[in-house]
A and B are shown apart, each in its own frame.
Chain A
Amino acid sequence: MSRAAEGSNRRMLRARDTMDRDYARPLDVPALARVAHVSPAHFARTFRATFGETPHRYLQRRRVERAMYLLRESDRSVTDIAFEVGFGSPGTFSRTFRGIVGSSPRAYRKEAVAAAVPTCFTMAWTRPG
């Protein structure tokens, strides 16, 4: 591992932090590549090599994790939550949620329990695989 690779890791982490923070915005590969100061093609390839998944998949799982949090901790409607975490439509949200979590948002809400630990840990450890 060279200094250049360390710098590359750090820039990929900065872009990933942007997804963690601004997940509700319409983030795409060109926008994230700008955060990392690399070309879009280089960004998509390097992000995957660094973290083992595509930026798109990471963002989907972050949005679903945030939706799971809101389903657990609030009584807002599923539709509200879909838009709140950055999905363009309730249908896409429900399909993506079910694909990742294995149950529907409503079923998840019925079974979920709230956790009282620092939020960064909840975010890191409950992001569904």
Chain B
Amino acid sequence: MFNAITQSQIYVLDQDEALDFYVGKLGLEVVADVPLGFMRWLTVGVPGHPERQILLERPGAPAMSEETAEQVRELVTKGVMGGWLIFTTDDCRGTYKTLLDKGVEFTEEPTERPYGIDCGLRDPFGNRIRFTQPKA
């Protein structure tokens, strides 16, 4: 049966802006950036881990009607699209400080949890992201 998750997807409203954020601010790496004609196949991953890719997909035609794409964009910007990611880190508070200095919009400061220290942020479009420093 299955032995890994290799690809997941999150909707972004602008792929260049998404690159600025996910690569320029969060420090992920581009794994694939392929102009397929009908779409730009753009994936990112944690540096050194290309086996786990996140597709940064722009909702739009021809995959869906412009009307449906508008509904998707509305849900993303209301924060209810459901796309979300949780990363792990060796240093939650240090990473928080680094990203805060880069202007990242946090929804929750680093907080002690039963499972470690974690915090929450949003990408420029409204998607939720968290990162956790697991309890040693």
Contacts and interface: CB of A to CB of B under 8 A. Distances in A.
B45 interface: no
**Dominant SS at the A interface?**
helix
Interface string B89-115: 000000000000000011111010110
Interface string B62-81: 00000000110110011100
Interface residues of A, number: 19
A1 B74 contact: yes
B78 A13 contact: yes
Given A13-B126, A17-B122, A20-B107, A118 B73 contact: no
A85 B73 CA distance: 33
14 contacts: A1-B73, A5-B74, A6-B13, A7-B77, A9-B74, A10-B77, A13-B79, A17-B107, A21-B108, A51-B78, A118-B118, A119-B108, A120-B84, A120-B120
